[in-house]
């Protein structure tokens, strides 16, 4: 993402003399960024979440990892959601950064993905998208139809998660989650989970399903999370927390960025992203916390 931003700025600077002001500067930059991203996507494989790569594992499953370039990662809301967006625009933008939506997008060819995002998230017309992608209106409409069919099919194939809206019920759920996590109260944690809950830990391909398996994991390999601290984070339009595990020398050290997906005020997916050296700086998070006084 950082490389794409830099390349967009370079292309914009080189093309500034050709900017005629027929559209807003924001629209012009978005067109450039879209083309940069299309160029990049053409040479990259599909990113995924662990639950898309194979069957659920067990405590005996080997821990195999994949490079960061293979994984969907959380998105910092501060970078993705402009402060001046109106409520309707903010709602569309929030939907576009949810993990489940980003995962479904990976199943679209790059040009279909761009057409869908520009029309349904940014509100562009088919004519504007056609100009940005050097295409025609009929071709864009056809791409949109195929993209929407694929997205609808993906929604039928994957677990359903609720759009996150802060309510008294969800606030209570998250307060109980944090309290139970920091006490390492496994029984209390498991009591907050859906019957078909999923847990994953990218970059590991292993993922687990069901409260019983997660209960055993937390009492087994997950026992090292005992004594952790959680700090709230604005990530992927979902409940999210920075997890810090106790450090041998005192204080706490960054361990994971946790993104929860909810259903009916229970936890349906527990995603712990472990690439903290790259993720935490994007969210303005420290890698270490001093000892609590």
CA-CA distance, 94 to 116, in Å (whole number)? 15
Structural domains counted in the chain: 3
On whether residue 106 sits in a domain, the answer given is yes
Residue 81 and residue 181 share a domain = no
Q: What is the mean pLDDT of residues 265-284?
A: 95
CATH number, domain at 89? 1.10.10.10
Task: Give buried/exposed letters for 169-186 (b at 16+ CB in 10 A, else e).
Answer: ebeebbeebbebbeebeb
* Of 42, 41, 40, 106, the residue nearest 72 (C-alpha): 106
Of the pLDDT bands very low, low, confident and very high (cuts 50, 70, 90), residue 293 is confident
In terms of domains, do 27 and 125 share one? no
Lowest mean pLDDT among 73-77, 84-88, 139-143, 166-170: 84-88
Residue 255 counted as domain residue: yes
- Both 178 and 271 in a single domain? yes
Do 176 and 135 belong to one domain? no
Q: Does residue 98 have a pLDDT over 80? A: yes
Task: Say yes or no to pLDDT of 168 above 90.
Answer: no
| pTM as predicted | 0.82
What's the rounded Cα separation, in Å, for the pair 258 and 272? 4
Could you give phi then psi for residue 280, rounded to 5 degrees?
-60, -45
Q: Per-residue pLDDT tens for 195-205?
A: 999 999 999 99
The parent domain of residue 268 ranges over 168-289
Tell whether 163 is covered by a domain: no
Whole-number Å distance between alpha carbons of 54 and 31: 36
């Amino acid at each position: 993402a950082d490389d794409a931003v830099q390349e967009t700025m370079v292309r914009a600077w080189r093309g500034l003399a050709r900017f005629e002001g027929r559209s807003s500067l924001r629209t012009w930059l978005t067109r450039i960024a879209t083309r940069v991203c299309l160029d990049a996507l053409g040479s990259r494989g599909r990113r995924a979440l662990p639950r898309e790569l194979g069957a659920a594992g067990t405590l005996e499953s080997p821990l195999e990892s994949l490079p960061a370039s293979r994984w969907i990662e959380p998105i910092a809301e501060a970078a993705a959601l402009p402060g001046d967006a109106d409520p309707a625009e903010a709602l569309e933008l929030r939907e576009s950064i949810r993990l489940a939506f980003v995962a479904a997008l990976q199943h679209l060819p790059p040009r279909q993905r761009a057409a869908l995002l520009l029309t349904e998230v940014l509100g562009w017309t088919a004519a504007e998208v056609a100009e940005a992608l050097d295409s025609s209106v009929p071709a864009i409409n056809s791409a949109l139809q195929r993209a929407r069919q694929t997205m609808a099919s993906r929604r039928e194939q994957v677990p359903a998660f609720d759009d996150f809206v802060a309510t008294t019920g969800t606030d209570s759920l998250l307060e109980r989650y944090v309290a139970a996590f920091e006490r390492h109260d496994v029984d209390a944690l498991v009591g907050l989970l859906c019957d078909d809950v999923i847990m994953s830990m990218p970059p590991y391909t292993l993922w687990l399903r069901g409260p019983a398996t997660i209960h055993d994991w937390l009492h087994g390999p997950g026992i090292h999370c005992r004594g952790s601290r959680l700090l709230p984070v604005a990530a992927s339009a979902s409940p999210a927390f920075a997890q810090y595990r106790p450090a041998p020398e005192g204080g706490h050290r960054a361990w994971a960025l946790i993104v929860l997906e909810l259903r009916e005020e229970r936890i349906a997916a527990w995603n712990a992203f472990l690439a903290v050296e790259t993720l935490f700086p994007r969210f303005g998070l420290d890698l270490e916390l001093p000892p609590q006084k």
